[in-house]
């Protein structure tokens, strides 16, 4: 936790990251998820850095596909934005199940940045195609409520589904 507080994200070890969790306070409730730092260390480190620097605060889940995913983390809210850099894919053996957290990306496997999605069910067709880096441990009912939000064109929610505050805390 000291490295997170000091901003020294590069020094976070998988063991240290395994003792942390993400907390997403949304306008629908709280979602918590654990990390998979042994399988996706750079991805976890990136998410922790973005959360600890308040990057996600106030962003929306801009893409909602019932029975599939809720997706957020785009500062533009359009599905085209990111943090200004990309990270390498860390495909692993973790499966896409209800509550799985993974990085969204464009066609290039190494094009993820800040956008992530949470699965609304089992999605085996995504396995080994996207970097899975976490699993919801609390608030799956919040994930499901967001996943039922009314949408318009391009799977955009009619009413904003907001991540009011995203932060990291010990498990």
Burial class (CB in 10 A: 0-12, 13-18, 19+), 22: buried
Q: What is the pLDDT of residue 123?
A: 98
| Third-level CATH fold of 16-170 | Cyclophilin (2.40.100)
Contact (Cβ atoms closer than 8 angstroms) between residue 73 and residue 59 = yes
Phi then psi dihedrals of residue 29, to 5 deg: 140, -170
Q: What is the pLDDT of residue 8?
A: 76
Contact (Cβ atoms closer than 8 angstroms) between residue 118 and residue 100 = yes
Q: What is the mean pLDDT of each run of 10 residues along the chain (171 residues)?
A: 64 94 98 98 98 98 98 97 98 98 97 99 98 99 98 94 97 92
pTM value is: 0.96
Contact (Cβ atoms closer than 8 angstroms) between residue 72 and residue 31 = no
Q: Where are the chain's structural domains?
A: 16-170
Q: What is the pLDDT of residue 9?
A: 83
Q: Among all chains, which residue has been given the structure tokens 């730092």? A: 37
Asked whether the CA dihedral 97, 19, 165, 139 is positive or negative, the reply is positive
Q: Give the H/E segment covering residue 26.
A: strand 20-26
The two structure tokens encoding residue 143: 């994930």
């Amino acid at each position: 936790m000291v490295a997170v507080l000091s901003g020294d994200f590069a020094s976070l070890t998988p063991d240290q990251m395994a003792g942390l969790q993400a907390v997403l306070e949304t306008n629908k409730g709280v979602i918590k998820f654990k990390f998979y730092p042994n399988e996706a260390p750079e991805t976890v480190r990136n998410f922790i850095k973005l959360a600890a620097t308040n990057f996600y605060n106030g962003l929306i889940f801009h893409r909602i596909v019932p029975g599939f995913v809720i997706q957020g983390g785009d500062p533009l809210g359009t599905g085209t934005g990111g943090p200004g850099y990309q990270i390498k894919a860390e495909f692993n053996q973790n499966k896409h199940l209800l509550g799985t957290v993974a990085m969204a990306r464009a066609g290039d496997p190494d094009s993820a940045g800040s956008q992530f999605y949470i699965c609304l069910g089992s999605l085996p067709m995504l396995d080994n195609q996207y970097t899975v880096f976490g699993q919801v441990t609390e608030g799956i009912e919040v994930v499901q409520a967001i996943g039922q939000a009314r949408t318009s064109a391009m799977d955009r929610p009619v009413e904003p589904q907001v991540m009011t505050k995203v932060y990291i805390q010990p498990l």
